[in-house]
Structure 1
Amino acid sequence: MSHPHRIGALLGGVALAALLMPAVGLAQTATTTATNTAPAPQAAGAVDELQEIIVTGTARSDGMKKLDASFAISTIKAEDIVAQQPNGTADLLKLTPGLWVESTSGTAGPNIDVRGFPGGGDAPFITMQIDGSPIYPAPTLSFMDNSTLIRLDDTVERVEVLRGGPATVFSNAQPGATVNFIQRKGTDTPEGSIRLTVGDEGLYRVDTYYGGPITKDLNFMVGGFYRYNEGIRSTQFPADDGGQVVANITKKFENGEFTFYGRRTDDKNAFYTAIPLVSSNGGKNISAFPGTDPGTFSLYSNDVRNVTIETGPGQSKNVDIGDGRGIQLTTLGNTLDLDLKGWQLSNKMNFVTGRAFTQSEFTGSNPETLGQFISDTVTSANANAAVVAAAGGIATGGSAKIVGSGAALTNMNQQVIAVGMWSVDKRIQSFTDDARLSHELFPGNTLTVGAYFAQYSSKDQWYLGNNYLLTMQNHPQAVDVVLNNGAKASRGGLTSGSFYALDASYDGTAVAGFISDEWKITPDLRLDAGFRMEHQSINGTISNDSTGDLDNNPLTLYDNAASYTNGTYYGVSSHRTEPSWTVGANYYLTDDLSVYARVNSGHEFPQFDALRGGDYQMVNIRQQEVGLKTSSHYYSAYVTGFHNTFSGLLYQAEVVNPDGSGSLINEIYGSEAWGAEFELAVRPVTNLTVSFRGTYLDAKYQDNPTFNGDQVLRQPKFQFSIAPSYEIPLDWASLRLFGTYTHVGDRYGDPNNQQPLPAYDTLDLGVSAEFDRYTVQLTGTNLTDELGITEGNARVVGSGTSSSGVFLGRPLFGRSIHLSAAAKF
C-alpha cells in the first residue's frame, strides 16, 4: 500500500472509531462545539477519568488533564497493579497498548518493544522513571534494561505510560515509551496497609506502607516488600529472594513543596531462557519435548547451582547460579515545585549506585543423545594433532558418568543438553537533574525553558559461554565424559570455556537544553511545540581477548580454546550533538471528546555496547500519530494511529554454536511501522465494565539486504485483550469478579523470519472481596495452561530447528494461583 493510502486509512480508522461510539448519542445532546454545551451527567468513574491529571510528558510539573493531552498515555492505578499480580515490573506493562512485553524470563530481564520499534532483545526504547526522573539515563545496556532496576510494591500510587509524544524533548529524550512510577506521599491523615500474598509455586510475600504527618506541613511515607519464592519455575533453591525499603519526606510551602525520597533494593531472581520444544506443520504448531511439561520445566537444580568457571590461565571463578539476575541498588532523589510570583520552578534529581548482575543459565544448542555427543567429541579431538599426540593415539569412543553420584551412564540414547553458565557483573552509577522554568507570556500561552544533565557509568566483567553438559530432564544433573584415549571432554560437567570475556569501564555525560511552548488558542484548541539540543560524550576502556589452552594440557578438551582477557585494553569514545523536536495539537469536538495529532523527530545516541561493537551511528527516529480520547457514562475510548521510521539501528546478538563456541554479530538496519493502538471500555449496565485493549502493527525491516521486507522480529501484527469486571454489592462486603482473555498473533523469533512463533490465547480470572478495612483476592493466571512461546532461540542464526523438529523456545509459565489478603489502617 502506498504512503498516501496508508495515511488515509490511518486517519479513516481513527475517525471511524469515533463514529462507532454508540453512547455519544445516548450520553449527551448533539452539539456543535464544546464551548456552548453543558456536560452530560457522568458516572463517578467516568468523571474521574475525564478529570484525571497526568504529569508524564508535560512541560509543567502541575501536569494537565488526560483529555487535554495531545499524545498517547495510559494510567495504571494501585488497585490495577494488585488485581493483575504481575510477576515483575515488565509484566505490568501488558496493561498498556502499543507495547509488546515478553516477561517469560521471570521477574527480571524481560524483552519489551514499542510500536514496531525494532529491538531484538532487552528494552532499548523504554525509560523507567521514579517521580519523573530516569532511573538510569541509558534505557538499555547489555544484561540491564531499565525495568530490571525497579521493583513494584505498594508504595507506588500509580504508573503513567507515555508512548512517543513530546518525550523526545524532555528528560532523557526517550522516543519510545516512558514509564513513570509515581510514589505515594504521606498525607495529613495517617494511613497505611499491609498485604500478604501466597502462591501455589511457593511464593510468600509481604507488602506494606504507612504515611502521615510529622509536623504541620511535613509528612512522611515508608514501605516496601519482602518476597521469597523457589521460582516461577521450580529451581530447587531460593530463586526469587529479596526485597526493598522505600521512604520519602514531603515539606509543603505556601508556594509549593519539596519531596526527598530514598529506595534500597536487594533482590535476586531466577532468569529463564529457552527450553527444548517440538515444532511441526512448518512451525505453526508446537508441543512439549518428550518427558517435559513446558509450563513448569526448569534446567535449574541444586546439582548445577554452584559451578567453577575458568577465567584465564590458572584462574577460575566460583559462580552461584542461584544469584540469578538481580540488583543491589541505592536510589536517592528529590522533587521541587515552587510558584515564584508567576514563574513556576520545577527540579527533579535522581542518584543511583550499586550492582546489576546476571549469574544464570543460557541455552543455545538443541538437546542430543549422549552417543551423538561422544561421537562429535571424538571427531573433534581426533582432528586436533596436539590432542592425538598427547594421548598417544586417536580415540574410538568414550564413557560418561553423573558428576554428583559417580554413577555410570551406559544408555547412549540418553538425551543430554549443553547449557551455558554465564556470569555478568555490572557496577553502575548515575546522576540526573532536570530543571524547568515556566511562565505565562500572555493569557493562554505558557513558555517553558529547561536543562537536563546526566552523568552515568558502568564497570563490566563478563564471562559468556562456559557450557555444562546436563541430563535432559527437569532439575538436571551434570555429566562428565572421558574418551578412551585419555582425553577429558569435561570437568565437573564443564565442556567448554568462555567464548567471550570482557573487562570494561564506561563513562557517559549528557547535557541538554530545551524549550517548549503551549498555546491554548481557543477554549477548544491547544497547540504545543518543543525543541531540544543535546550533547553526549562517552569514553570507555575495553579489554582485549586472547583464545588459548588455559592449563597448557591438550588432553583437557574443555579449556583448550577458551576466551580470556589478556591484560591489554583499547579505548572508545563518542562525542555527538543532536537536535530533536515535537509539534502537537489537541482539539475538543465536545466536552468529552477530543482529537489530536503529533509529529516528532528523535534519536538514540550510540551507547556503551554499541561503541564496544564498533557502531558509532546515530539512530534516527521519525514519528507521526493521530488519535482521539473520549469518556462518558457508558464508555471510554483512547485510540491512536501511528507511523514511525528508523535508520541506523544496530542489531546485536550473542550467538552460540553447537560446539560451545560463540561470537557476537552486529548488523545495521532500519525499519518502518504503521499501526493503531486502542483502549476501550463499555459500561452497558450498572457495576459491569468490559475493557478492550490492543494493538495492530505492520512493521518491516529496511536498509539491510539481509532483512529487507521481513517482519520486525517477535512483535505480533495483532494482539488484544478483553477484560470484564463486575461488582456485586452485598450488605457485608463488595465482591468483584474479573478476568482477562488475551490473544497474541503470529510472530517471528529472528530478523530473517525463519523462526515462526505461532499465535496463542490465555485466560486469567480473579475474585476479590472488600469489607470494612480488609480485602481478600484470589487470582489465577494462564488457567488453560496454554503452551505459547514469546521467544525462539535468540542465540542461533536461522530457524534453529533440528531435522526432528526440536527447537529452543521460551514458553509461557504454567497455571498459577495466588491468594492475597490486605488490611488498611
Structure 2
Amino acid sequence: MTKTKAFLLVSAALFALPAYASEETDASDRTSGGAAEAPAKKQSFTTGVAKGRDLLDTAISASTLDEAEIQKIGTRSIAEVLSNIPGIRAETGGTDGLTAITIRGLPLAADGSKFLQIQEDGLPVLEFGDVHFAATTAFLRTDLSLSQVQAIRGGSASTFSSNSPGGIVNFISKTGEEEGGMIQLSSGLDHELGRADFNYGGRLSESMRFNIGGFYRQGEGPRASGYNAFRGGQVKFNITKTLGSGFVRLYAKYLDDREPNYGLVPVRVSGTNSDPDYAPLPGFDPRRDTLTASRYRGATPTVDQDNNPATLDRREGNRSKVASLGVEAQFDVAGWSLSNRVRYARISGSYNETLPSATLPVPAFAMAFGGPGASLRYATGPNAGATISPASAINGNGLVANALDLNARINSMDNFTNDLRGSRVWELGNGKLTTTAGFYASSQDVDLYYDFGNSAYDLASGGNSAFIDVIAANGTPASQGGVLSYGIFGGSGYHRRYDLNYRVYAPYGSVNYQQGPLAVGASLRYDFGKVSGTLYGADLGGNRVGLAAIDLNRDGVISGPESAVAVLPLAQPGFADYDYGYASYSVGVNYRLAEPVSLFARYSRGARASADRLFFSPTVNPASGKLTDESAAYAPVKQAEGGIKFRKPGMTLFVTGFWASTKDKNLQIGADATGAVALITIDRSYSAKGVEVEGLFERGPLSLRVGATYTKAKIDSDRTDPTAVGNTPRHQPDLIFQAMPQYQTGLFSVGANILGTTSSYAQDSNLLKQPSYVIVSPFLQVRPTARVELSLNAYNVFDKLALVQVGSAAIPASGIVNAQTLNGRTITGSVRFSF
C-alpha cells in the first residue's frame, strides 16, 4: 500500500469523526420500564466495545470470570481457564506452550488461536495468535494480580480490534482500588510442585494508587519427568495517577518461566473407528507420564542458526520470556472522552516437543531403522551400553519410539502496539447519538529458528525414559547417542529461519443512536498491513543445499547421522514483501423489553490476516516476496447472532443463537491411514451454527454457574481434498458444557468445577472417534479465622482419561495412536494470608 493511500485512509477516518458512534449506550442513558423489585447487580463490560456497558444494554454476547472463580477451577492453565467460558473450545495438555483455542465452531486447523485474540489489559499479547511454536498462551500467566477475564464472542470484536473476528478474551489486572495484599503458598499433595503467589495494592496519596503482584513456582509437576520441569515466574506492576477528569496508568511486566510440553504420546486403541476403546500402554500412563524429556534424555548436539555446532537442552521445555512496558491514559476534553493505550513488549523463548512418529516393538524397530540383523542398546541412563534383547518386554510394553524432535528458538516476538480513540455523546431529537473513532497501529516481529530431528527412546514411566541406539548387523551404529538424524527423517525439510516484521494500521469508528429502550448501531474498520523480511531454508526450492557433514560432537569422526546434518542456506535467502488491506463492519440492535430482559441481534464481517504459515508454500514467491494468490493474505469471517438476556436478583440467563462462516488456508499435523505422522495442506471454507447458554442461579448460600454450547459445523468446500466436503471438522464436538455448583458461607466454600464434551472426530475424514469426557474438579476453601484461607483443589478427581486430540485418521494395525490428554487426578493444597 502506498503512503498516499495510507494518508487518505487516515484522513478519511478523521474527517468522519462526527459520523461514527459507540456500539452501545450507557445504562443511565436508557429509559426502562419500572421494575417492582430492586435491580440485579449490573455487569459492566469493556472489552471489544466502544465504551464500558452493562451487558443487558449491549448487542453482544459476552462473559466474565473473576479471580475468585479462577482460584476454584483447579488449574491455572490459560486454555483450561478459557474452557470455562461458553463458546470457547480449547485443546491443552495442562500447560500453556502447546495449546489450540477456537470459538463458535470456527476451524481449529492447527495450534494457537487463529480467530480468537487474547489480550492483556486491553491490548493483544501477540498480533497473531497462531504463529507456529509461539502461541499467545505461552506468554501469559494467571496469578493473584489478575482481577477479571472478559470474553466477547463475535459481535463488535471484528471492528474494535485487529485480527479478532471470532472474539476477544481480555485478562485484566488489578490496579490498586482495594487496599491490602495477600500471599498464597501452594503445593502439590500427590505431585511435586511448589508455588508462591503474592499481590499488594493501595494508595500512595489521594490521587495515586498502585498494584504489584506475581508468582514463582518450581518442581517436577503433575506428570513425572525426573527433573524440575516447572521453574520460573512473573512480576507485574502498575501505578495510576488521577488527574482531574482522567487518569494516567503505567504498566510493567517481567515473565521468565519454563514448562514441560505435554504433547501427543502413544496410547493403545482397540474396538472400531466408530466405537473405539482407548487405554494407557502397559508401563506408561499419559495422565501422569511425559516423553518430552526425562532425567536421562537431556542435552544433545545440534547446529545453531549460523550452522555452527551447538547443544540443545531438551529439559528447557517451553521457555517464555517477556519484558513489557505500557501506558494507558484517559481524559475528558471539550466534551470528548479520549483514551490511548500503548505498550512495547520484548518477547523470546524456546519450544521443545517430542512427537512420536512410529512406535514399534523392539525387533520391528531394530529392523526398520538398522536393517536385517540390527540390534538396540541403551545410549543413556543406568543401562547405558547394554544391549536390549529382542524378546525383552522393556518397561512392560516392549516398545521403542522414533520421535520427531521439534525445537524452535524464539529469537523475537517483540511487538509495539498503540490504540487511540475518542468518543462523544450528542443530544439528537429525543435520543442520544454517540460517536467514536480511533486509530490502531502495531509492529510485530516473527523471528524463529526451527531445528528438527529424529531420535529413539523407550516408553518408561516415572521420568526414566532413555535414549536408544540402533546398531547395524556389522556393528556400525545407525544412530549417535540416541539421535537417528540431525534433520527431519534425515532430510533438510522444515529446517528454517523466519525473520519477519508485520506492520498493521487500522482506522475505525462506530455510530449508535439510542432512544428509550431501543439502540441501533454500526461500526467500521479498515485494516491495512505491510509484511517484510527474509526466510532461510532448503525447502524454499531452487538450488538451495540444506545438508552438510559436520562433526557435531567434535570427536574427529563423522558418524552416519553427522554425514547429513540439516543446515540453512545462509547465502540464499528468500524474501517477504507484500501489502494487504480489508474492511470489517458490524451492525447491531438492542431492545430493552423491561428492566430484567433485553433482546439483541447483530451481523458482522471481519477477517484475520495471515502470518507465518503462508511461507514455504506456493502462495509466496521467495524471489520477490510477493503473494501468488492475493486471497491468501487474510481469512474473512461472516457472523450472525441473536439472543435474549434475562437478569433478576438470584438469576441470570443468556441464550444466543449464532451462525459463522470462514475460509482458511493452513497447515495441520495429522496422520495417514497407517497412523504415521503427516503434514496436511488445507484450503477450505467452513460454516457453523449453534446455540450458547449461560446462566447463574443463586439462592442463599447455594449457587450454580452453568454454560453450554451446541454447535453443528461442516466443511463447505475443499480445494485439496474434495472427499472432506460435508464432513465435520476434526475435534469439533456437538456439545461442550461447564458447571460450577457451590455452597458458600463465611466459614467455608465447597463445590466443584465440571467440564464436559461430547464425542468428535479425530480427523477431517470423519472415521475415528474421539470419546466424550466429563472432568470433575471439586474444591474446598476454609476460613478458620480472619485473613486466613485454606484451600484444597482436586483436579480431575475421578482420574478420567480425557483425550483432547488423537493424531490418527483410523485405528492402525499396530493398535497404537498418538494422543494428547488432560492431566489425571492432581491434588493441590494452599494457604492464603491477607493483610
- Structure 1-normalised TM-score? 0.88
Corresponding residue for residue 420 of structure 1? 404
Corresponding residue for residue 565 of structure 1? 568
Corresponding residue for residue 763 of structure 2? 750
CA displacement, residues 561-591 of structure 1 (integer Å, 9 cap, x when unaligned): 5532122211122201110000011111210
Matched, 1:806 2:795: no
Query: CA separation in 1, counterparts of 2:305 and 2:605?
Result: 47
Query: CA separation in 2, counterparts of 1:577 and 1:240?
Result: 42
Matched, 1:460 2:460: no
Amino acid at match of 1:282: T
Select the residue among 432, 436, 442 that pairs with 1:448: 436
Corresponding residue for residue 737 of structure 2? 720
Select the residue among 632, 641, 649 that pairs with 1:633: 649
Query: CA separation in 1, counterparts of 2:546 and 2:363?
Result: 29
Corresponding residue for residue 23 of structure 1? none
Report the alpha carbon displacement of residue 661 of structure 1 after superposing the two structures with TM: 11
Report the alpha carbon displacement of residue 79 of structure 1 after superposing the two structures with TM: 0.5
SS in structure 1 opposite 2:485? coil
Corresponding residue for residue 16 of structure 2? none
Corresponding residue for residue 739 of structure 1? 752
Query: CA separation in 1, counterparts of 2:339 and 2:602?
Result: 25
Amino acid at match of 2:504: A
Corresponding residue for residue 369 of structure 1? 361
Question: What do you get for the CA RMSD once the two structures are aligned?
Answer: 2.4
Shift in alpha-carbon separation, 1:659–1:423, aligned structure 2, 3 A:
farther
Query: CA separation in 1, counterparts of 2:584 and 2:171?
Result: 25
The more displaced of 244-253 and 212-221 is 212-221
Select the residue among 282, 292, 295 that pairs with 1:290: 282
1:260-275 equivalences under 5 Å are 260-275=250-265
Query: CA separation in 1, counterparts of 2:285 and 2:458?
Result: 18
Query: CA separation in 2, counterparts of 1:377 and 1:554?
Result: 21
Query: CA separation in 1, counterparts of 2:196 and 2:460?
Result: 36
CA displacement, residues 190-212 of structure 1 (integer Å, 9 cap, x when unaligned): 31111111113212111111112
CA displacement, residues 273-298 of structure 1 (integer Å, 9 cap, x when unaligned): 11211212214321121222232122
Select the residue among 655, 677, 691 that pairs with 1:676: 691
Query: CA separation in 2, counterparts of 1:561 and 1:655?
Result: 27
Amino acid at match of 1:623: Q
Matched, 1:700 2:743: no
Maintained 8 Å contact 1:642/1:675: yes
Corresponding residue for residue 9 of structure 1? none
SS in structure 1 opposite 2:363? helix
Corresponding residue for residue 23 of structure 2? none
1:744-783 equivalences under 5 Å are 744-770=757-783, 771-783=785-797
Matched, 1:357 2:350: yes
Report the alpha carbon displacement of residue 398 of structure 1 after superposing the two structures with TM: 3.5
Select the residue among 421, 430, 440 that pairs with 2:415: 430
Corresponding residue for residue 296 of structure 2? 303
Shift in alpha-carbon separation, 1:257–1:291, aligned structure 2, 3 A:
same
Corresponding residue for residue 501 of structure 1? 495
Corresponding residue for residue 59 of structure 1? 50
SS in structure 2 opposite 1:807? strand
Select the residue among 521, 527, 537 that pairs with 1:528: 521
Amino acid at match of 1:429: D
SS in structure 2 opposite 1:304? coil
Shift in alpha-carbon separation, 1:225–1:40, aligned structure 2, 3 A:
same
Shift in alpha-carbon separation, 1:660–1:34, aligned structure 2, 3 A:
closer
Maintained 8 Å contact 2:415/2:442: yes
Shift in alpha-carbon separation, 1:94–1:399, aligned structure 2, 3 A:
closer
Shift in alpha-carbon separation, 1:374–1:157, aligned structure 2, 3 A:
same
SS in structure 2 opposite 1:144? coil
SS in structure 1 opposite 2:203? strand
The more displaced of 480-489 and 427-436 is 480-489
Query: CA separation in 1, counterparts of 2:204 and 2:300?
Result: 51
Matched, 1:79 2:68: yes
SS in structure 2 opposite 1:303? coil
Query: CA separation in 1, counterparts of 2:665 and 2:563?
Result: 32
Query: CA separation in 2, counterparts of 1:662 and 1:569?
Result: 29
Name stretches of at least 5 consecutive residues in structure 2 with no aligned partner. 1-29, 393-397, 489-493, 539-544, 620-626
Select the residue among 607, 612, 617 that pairs with 1:613: 617
Corresponding residue for residue 516 of structure 1? 510
Amino acid at match of 2:580: R
Matched, 1:439 2:430: no
Report the alpha carbon displacement of residue 709 of structure 1 after superposing the two structures with TM: 1.1
Query: CA separation in 2, counterparts of 1:417 and 1:528?
Result: 58
SS in structure 2 opposite 1:298? coil
Query: CA separation in 1, counterparts of 2:202 and 2:762?
Result: 50
Report the alpha carbon displacement of residue 510 of structure 1 after superposing the two structures with TM: 0.8
Select the residue among 179, 182, 193 that pairs with 1:193: 182
Query: CA separation in 2, counterparts of 1:313 and 1:399?
Result: 34
Maintained 8 Å contact 2:186/2:831: yes
Matched, 1:410 2:389: yes
Report the alpha carbon displacement of residue 326 of structure 1 after superposing the two structures with TM: 2.2
Query: CA separation in 2, counterparts of 1:717 and 1:340?
Result: 50
Report the alpha carbon displacement of residue 152 of structure 1 after superposing the two structures with TM: 0.9
Query: CA separation in 2, counterparts of 1:295 and 1:398?
Result: 31
Maintained 8 Å contact 1:488/1:558: no
CA displacement, residues 64-107 of structure 1 (integer Å, 9 cap, x when unaligned): 11211111111111101111132322221111010111121523
Maintained 8 Å contact 2:297/2:467: yes
Matched, 1:35 2:12: no
CA displacement, residues 138-178 of structure 1 (integer Å, 9 cap, x when unaligned): 22211112221111111111110111110111132411121
Query: CA separation in 1, counterparts of 2:568 and 2:768?
Result: 34
Report the alpha carbon displacement of residue 374 of structure 1 after superposing the two structures with TM: 1.6
Query: CA separation in 1, counterparts of 2:318 and 2:391?
Result: 35
SS in structure 1 opposite 2:729? coil
Maintained 8 Å contact 2:643/2:654: yes
Query: CA separation in 2, counterparts of 1:630 and 1:787?
Result: 37
Corresponding residue for residue 154 of structure 1? 144
Maintained 8 Å contact 2:74/2:779: no
Select the residue among 461, 465, 490 that pairs with 1:476: 465
CA displacement, residues 350-395 of structure 1 (integer Å, 9 cap, x when unaligned): 1111303113322332x2112111212344xxxxxxxxxxxxxxx6
Query: CA separation in 2, counterparts of 1:477 and 1:183?
Result: 43
Select the residue among 638, 655, 667 that pairs with 2:682: 667
Report the alpha carbon displacement of residue 790 of structure 1 after superposing the two structures with TM: 0.2
Matched, 1:211 2:201: yes
Shift in alpha-carbon separation, 1:565–1:655, aligned structure 2, 3 A:
farther
CA displacement, residues 11-45 of structure 1 (integer Å, 9 cap, x when unaligned): xxxxxxxxxxxxxxxxxxxxxx9734224246xxx
Maintained 8 Å contact 1:34/1:590: no
The more displaced of 335-344 and 801-810 is 801-810
CA displacement, residues 526-557 of structure 1 (integer Å, 9 cap, x when unaligned): 11210111111101211132344635999944
Query: CA separation in 2, counterparts of 1:434 and 1:39?
Result: 42
Amino acid at match of 1:370: V
Query: CA separation in 1, counterparts of 2:530 and 2:413?
Result: 17
CA displacement, residues 386-430 of structure 1 (integer Å, 9 cap, x when unaligned): xxxxxxxxx643453443421221234532112233220121211
1:567-586 equivalences under 5 Å are 567=570, 568-586=572-590
Select the residue among 725, 728, 746 that pairs with 1:711: 728
Shift in alpha-carbon separation, 1:661–1:99, aligned structure 2, 3 A:
closer
Maintained 8 Å contact 2:370/2:470: no
Query: CA separation in 2, counterparts of 1:663 and 1:295?
Result: 25
Maintained 8 Å contact 1:403/1:480: no
Corresponding residue for residue 537 of structure 2? 544
CA displacement, residues 444-469 of structure 1 (integer Å, 9 cap, x when unaligned): 11111110001111211111233233
Corresponding residue for residue 138 of structure 1? 128
The more displaced of 162-171 and 314-323 is 314-323
Maintained 8 Å contact 1:130/1:182: yes
Shift in alpha-carbon separation, 1:221–1:91, aligned structure 2, 3 A:
same
Maintained 8 Å contact 1:39/1:592: no
Report the alpha carbon displacement of residue 338 of structure 1 after superposing the two structures with TM: 0.4
